[in-house]
């Protein structure tokens, strides 16, 4: 390639070019040309040295190789740049006086300060230059921001330094992936935040006055936040923002916040503490920290709820809570557009203490402040609604009334519960007496009763101890904590109950496989096609669209559904629980995501199981109109013959009915008729 460049630059009358045309090998010519440039070639380099440079660096094929791409100079771009009138050696001065074809070492870094000493001086004191001096390869230099050969005026839209292009230029380092320092310290991902801000959106709409990176951070004099000379130093931020927002700046600097910051109270907020640094949004934006939905709890509350700050400076620590616990706070939670927030009374920027005569909440001014929303407000009304008086819990009168009701409510409601409980117990006892008098048959044997009891206790305990981990802020978890259930006790109890549940499952498996009664019970729990028919007839019956009595077997479709859901759920919970119990062993066998998958399955399956028990099981054993207030079968294992005959006629006919009863039941089940006084199933 180099030989071709040099050959093309030889005059047509040259004997070397004639030799090439006569077939002399180009490789030999290249060797000769490389070792001994012709006088004509040297004369051309002397007359136009840039052309000699571009003979190599203008070759488009350099772009094909990543290693040589950096050597390519686009002649059209160079000719259009602000440096078009310069010679190559004006910038690459270490080539001056040398053979332009002969340099075989990397050129020295271009010193822009030769022509731009003022900018170089300012840049040499910036954060970027400091990073360069420390050897950080990520730090930008002049070419990193302005370009190398494609340098245009900042007023040219093609320039990387053009106002609308500045965010994109900065994004080359401070982009979506963020930026790491040489110590691997992660810097903020600022560009995306800026693009969503009011400034970034204004720039996208081509608003000339929209603030860009250089308006806040400077151009060459960019400095860190800790530098007292920096535009983003806490003491200087209001002045930086005030270049565009002068009125807000004046109000802030006269406020208690601005005055406190000026005397060195660094906890006092400045513009960026309330509005954000790069993601600055309009207060009308629901996501903004200064919106009415966030200003009390998030923005003002960030400091005024911080016990460290309130204790250090003797500030009232109740102002946010009492506001939230007032009509204004409740109305704001209901998205009232008229309810007052912090800014409504204290203003946005000129926040002053109540002792300051200019404060909007000074006793002389507070009535006028209230009149913004309450035109009839006077001094008495204003005095009735302070942070202390507005809160239900904070005011002495309302607090005293609250204590009265905290005593009255438990006494009254407790007496009602005791009264109704007495009635409930009476009916439970009477129901049990009636069942014994009617005559009973065995529904659950002792083994089944023990299994059911252990299953119920372990299940309830697992639900409580499991959800206590996932919802530690719940009131009932706090109550358990006061009883001594810390994390160590909770986790140990949860695992113990899991072992009990698994043990119940294993014992049940042995029961349904080893005992004759267990096998009979299991066979009756196997789903049949008849269950679908029973489901349809039950729905039609309770929609008053059918009158045929449903003849359930030993177990109806509701019990079969619940049984197999319990089997499925127990297996799922046991498997996922073992993964969570022994995660290090699990990832040796399964992919690493198995732990996260097990955690999700364990949590959502727990919700499914708990809700199924409450909605399905409790209805049929507690709240069903035919068993309310409770089915005694779960405790005694017995059912009355009348109940079995009514609800499970197929089972009754198989095991308990006499020959006459079998024929009678068969006749009634076929015709759909009922015996006198017998309720429909």
> Which has more confidence, 661 or 631?
631
CA distance 389 to 371: 18
Query: What integer pLDDT is reported at residue 22 of this predicted model?
Result: 47
In sequence order, what E strands does 276-428 have? none
Give which of 46, 28, 509 is closest to 16, Cα–Cα: 28
Name residue, tokens 């001056």: 96
Question: 629: cis peptide before it, omega within 30°?
Answer: yes
Retrieve residue 48's tokens. Answer: 């136009």
Question: What residues pair up with 186 in beta bridges, in sequence order?
Answer: 180
State in Å, rounded, how far the first CA of the chain is from the last one: 98
Torsion of CA 58, 62, 67, 71, to 10 degrees: 0
CB atoms within 10 A of CB 235: 14
Residue 666 binned pLDDT confidence (cut-offs 50, 70, 90): low
3-class secondary-structure state, position 637: coil
Retrieve residue 349's tokens. Answer: 């920027």
CA distance 64 to 66: 7
CA distance 146 to 219: 11
- ∠ at Cα 558 (561, 675), nearest 5°? 155
Residue by residue, DSSP assigns 239-279 as HHHHTT-HHHHHHHHHSHHHHHHHTT-TTS--HHHHH-SS-
- Domain parsing of the chain, residue ranges: 2-118
Query: What integer pLDDT is reported at residue 60 of this predicted model?
Result: 85
Which conformational region is residue 212 in: left (phi greater than 0), alpha (psi within -120 to 50 degrees), or beta?
Answer: beta
The total number of residues written for the chain in this structure: 681
CA distance 18 to 29: 11
CA distance 532 to 527: 9
CB atoms within 10 A of CB 293: 15
Query: What integer pLDDT is reported at residue 181 of this predicted model?
Result: 64
**Residue 6 predicted with pLDDT over 50:** no
Retrieve residue 162's tokens. Answer: 């053009």
> Which has more confidence, 60 or 562?
562
What are the pLDDT digits (tens) for 197-212? 999 999 999 898 899 9
> Which has more confidence, 448 or 78?
448
């Amino acid at each position: 390639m180099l030989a071709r460049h040099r050959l093309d630059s030889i005059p047509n009358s040259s004997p070397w070019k004639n030799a090439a045309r006569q077939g002399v090998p180009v490789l030999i010519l290249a060797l000769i040309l490389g070792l001994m440039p012709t006088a004509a070639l040297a004369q051309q380099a002397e007359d136009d040295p840039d052309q000699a440079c571009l003979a190599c660096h203008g070759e488009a094929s350099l772009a094909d190789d990543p290693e040589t791409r950096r050597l390519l100079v686009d002649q059209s771009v160079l000719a259009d740049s602000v440096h078009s009138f310069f010679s190559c050696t004006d910038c690459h001065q270490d080539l001056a006086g040398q053979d332009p074809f002969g340099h075989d070492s990397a050129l020295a870094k271009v010193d822009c300060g030769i022509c731009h000493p003022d900018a170089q001086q300012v840049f040499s004191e910036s954060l970027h230059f400091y990073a360069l001096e420390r050897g950080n390869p990520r730090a930008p230099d002049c070419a990193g921001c302005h370009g190398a050969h494609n340098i245009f005026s900042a007023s040219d839209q093609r320039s990387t330094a053009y106002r609308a292009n500045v965010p994109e230029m900065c994004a080359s380092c401070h982009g979506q992936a963020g930026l790491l320092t040489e110590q691997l310290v992660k810097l903020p991902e600022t560009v995306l935040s800026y693009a969503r801000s009011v400034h970034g959106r204004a720039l996208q709409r081509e608003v000339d006055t929209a603030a860009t990176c250089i308006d806040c951070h400077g151009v060459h004099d960019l400095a860190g936040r800790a530098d007292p000379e920096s535009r983003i130093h806490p003491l200087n931020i209001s002045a930086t923002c005030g270049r565009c927002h002068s009125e807000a700046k004046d109000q802030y600097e006269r406020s208690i916040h601005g005055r406190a910051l000026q005397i060195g109270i660094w906890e006092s907020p400045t513009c960026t503490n309330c509005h954000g640094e790069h993601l600055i949004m309009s207060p009308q934006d629901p996501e903004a920290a200064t919106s009415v939905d966030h200003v009390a709890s998030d923005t003002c509350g960030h400091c005024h709820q911080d016990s460290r700050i309130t204790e250090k400076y003797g500030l009232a620590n109740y102002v946010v809570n009492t506001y939230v616990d007032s009509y204004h706070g409740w109305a704001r939670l209901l998205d009232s557009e008229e309810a007052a927030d912090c800014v409504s009374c204290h203003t946005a920027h000129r926040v002053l203490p109540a002792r300051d005569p200019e404060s909007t909440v000074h006793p002389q001014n507070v009535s006028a402040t209230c009149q913004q929303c309450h035109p009839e407000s006077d001094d008495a009304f204003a005095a009735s609604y302070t942070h202390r008086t507005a809160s239900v819990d904070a005011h002495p009168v309302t607090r005293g009334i609250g204590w009265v009701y905290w005593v009255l409510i438990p006494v009254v409601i407790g007496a009602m519960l005791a009264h109704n409980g007495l009635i409930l117990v009476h009916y439970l006892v009477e129901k049990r007496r009636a069942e014994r008098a009617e005559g009973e048959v065995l529904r659950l044997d002792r083994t089944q009763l023990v299994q059911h009891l252990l299953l119920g206790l372990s299940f309830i305990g697992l639900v409580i101890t499991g959800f206590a981990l996932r919802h530690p802020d719940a009131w009932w978890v706090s109550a358990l904590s006061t009883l001594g259930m810390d994390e160590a006790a909770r986790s140990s109890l949860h695992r113990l109950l899991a072992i009990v549940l698994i043990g119940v499952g294993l014992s049940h498996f042995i029961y349904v496989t080893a005992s004759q009664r267990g096998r009979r019970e299991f066979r009756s729990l196997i789903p049949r096609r008849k269950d679908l028919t029973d489901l349809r007839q039950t729905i039609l019956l309770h929609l008053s669209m059918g009158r045929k009595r449903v003849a359930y077997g030993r177990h109806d479709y509701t019990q079969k559904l619940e049984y197999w859901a319990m089997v499925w759920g127990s297996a799922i919970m046991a498997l996922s629980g073992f993964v969570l119990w022994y995660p290090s062993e699990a990832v040796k066998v399964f992919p690493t995501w198995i732990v996260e998958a097990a955690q999700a399955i364990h949590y959502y399956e727990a919700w499914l199981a708990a809700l199924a028990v409450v909605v399905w099981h409790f209805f049929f054993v507690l709240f069903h109109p035919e068993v309310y207030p409770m089915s005694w079968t779960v405790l005694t294992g017995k059912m009355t013959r009348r109940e079995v005959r009514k609800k499970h006629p197929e089972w009754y006919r198989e095991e308990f009915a006499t020959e006459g009863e079998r024929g009678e039941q068969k006749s009634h089940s076929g015709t759909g008729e009922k015996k006198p006084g017998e309720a429909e199933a």
